[in-house]
Amino acid sequence: MNQWLDERLHISRLNDKFLRKAFPVHHSFFLGEITLFSLIVLIITGILLALAYEPSNSLVVNSFDPGTADKQNLIPAAYHSALKINAMPFGDMLRRVHHWMANIMVAAAVIHMMRIYFTGAFKKPREINWWIGMLLLIFAALTAVTGYILPYDNYAFQTVGVVYAIVKSVPWVGDWLAQAAFAGQFPGAGIIPRIYGYHIMLLPGILLALTGAHMLIMIKQKHTQPQYAKRLAYKKIVGVPLMTQQTPIMLILALLFTGLVMLFAAYIPVHPIEVFGPPSSTPIPNIKPDWYLLWVFGALAIIPGNLGFELFGGEINAEFIGAMVFPGLVIGLMFAVPMLDRAKDNQYYAENPTNHPVRLAAGTAFMAFLLMLSVAGYKPDLIQAGLLTTANSNAILWILVIAVPVVIYFLTIGIVRMIRALREADERDSLAHAHADD
């Protein structure tokens, strides 16, 4: 059969070009793969969910609790179909797997990115792939946010209200932009069909295209080689080929990983839409975004609301600064990472993070910064728990957001110095002993 196909499609060229791609053998190189597997599972579960979902926010009678003839219990069709999915055999499980997989995809992508950053794998010639990776992260977050809204329970409703407010806060064009993006003034009659279109067509399309580019470039440029490859065969590509050695490893990993997530999802429910009920005017106490957007939420919570000012007839308000300008700066900094490196030569080998203490310390400080902002997102809870008061919360949280990263920065530098001093002492020792042996 191979020959039959080869004569028609020249698959041997495909084999030479792509299927023999060497994969370095190191556990940290599986993080990107886990992200990819999550995406595949998300697409499969997403298709199954789309088969039963009704993308409409027009009101229908709740078939589970129809009310009385003169006072019918009307709920949005989208929420109704989400209730029906929950009642369907394995339906709730599908929602859980889809939800947790999305969280894990972002987590795996973030850890994958940490590996790239700390080992210097973003350096020339791989800057383009760093940027594509950044875009993937941004679009993954956007896809997740739109997916959040689709069940259209009260939680989703309150969330989309805030998202609408953020879009609307853009100066000059915000009002138009928000109405165009969410099909009219909130909550427009077409809001769910619009977000459904984003979530199942537009954003996954972008994600898949970017993923394809990400991997083609990776195959073209090859992985950075782990340090052992340097000792094994200097400047040679070391690793196992995709076909047939890497493929079984990937299959085992994918299945095991999916199995674990399903096991996890079987025990840990996603947020209960029955409890939150259909969209209403009742606010939800301590409403929060998913963990990867908590830092933006935290920034919004501690930025003073009277920060706004007028500029050329547009209003730059605190909402815009906190939810657009500030995250834009943070993401811009992440985009700029490859440009901070001035090396002219191509990077072959993954670097030992301790050999680059400033980069390592800057990375950990950056993570501490985002973590502290996420803590600031818990401001209402901290106030309610009595740990902070309304008066001092902003000041204390601002001090934490600024001081903790600084401390972490110098702590990391100190620890790296210590490790290197120990390492050098070890080397001196072994040299001295080697002489003694002579």
49/303 with CB nearer another protein: 303
How many Å apart are CA 258 and CA 37, to the nearest integer? 8
How many Å apart are CA 93 and CA 217, to the nearest integer? 36
**Contact track, another protein, 377-416, x by CB under 8 A:** --xx--x------xx-------------------------
61/407 with CB nearer another protein: 61
> Which listed range, 76-84, 229-237, 312-320, 366-374, lies at the site for another protein (CB under 8 A)?
312-320
How many Å apart are CA 210 and CA 217, to the nearest integer? 11
Token couple for 179 = 């109405």
Contact residue for another protein among 259, 305, 328, 414 (CB under 8 A): 305
Is residue 188 close enough to count as binding another protein by CB under 8 A?
yes
Contact residue for another protein among 125, 171, 190, 357 (CB under 8 A): 190
**Contact track, another protein, 325-364, x by CB under 8 A:** ----------------------------------------
Name 245's Cβ contacts closer than 8 Å, sequence gap at least 6.
Answer: none
Token couple for 226 = 């782990």
Residue list 152-181, contact with another protein (CB under 8 A): 158, 161-162, 164-166, 168, 176, 179-181
Contact residue for another protein among 5, 124, 172, 184 (CB under 8 A): 184
268/307 with CB nearer another protein: 307
Contact residue for another protein among 67, 212, 304, 414 (CB under 8 A): 304
Q: Measure the CA dihedral 192/374/380/302, to 10°.
A: -100
Cβ pair 150, 57 in contact under 8 A:
no
Q: Tell me the site size for another protein, rule CB under 8 A.
A: 45
Contact residue for another protein among 91, 125, 171, 308 (CB under 8 A): 308
DSSP string, 187-243: T-TTHHHHHHHIIIIIHHHHHHHHHHHHHHHHHHH-PPBPHHHHHHSTTS--SEEII
What are 364-369's contacts with CB under 8 Å, separation 24+? 364/408, 364/409, 364/412, 365/405, 365/406, 365/408, 365/409, 365/412, 366/333, 366/405, 367/114, 368/404, 368/405, 368/408, 369/401, 369/404, 369/405
Question: Shortest approach of another protein to residue 135 CB, angstroms?
Answer: 21
CA distances from 239 to 20, 28, 32, 324, 399 (A): 10, 14, 16, 43, 47
> Which listed range, 37-45, 243-251, 260-268, 283-291, lies at the site for another protein (CB under 8 A)?
283-291
Is residue 2 close enough to count as binding another protein by CB under 8 A?
no
Token couple for 230 = 């340097």
Is residue 79 close enough to count as binding another protein by CB under 8 A?
no
**Residue type (1 letter), 426:** D
Is residue 309 close enough to count as binding another protein by CB under 8 A?
no
Question: For binding to another protein (CB under 8 A), which residues are involved?
Answer: 158, 161-162, 164-166, 168, 176, 179-181, 183-190, 280-287, 297, 300-301, 303-306, 308, 315, 317-319, 322, 379-380, 383, 390-391
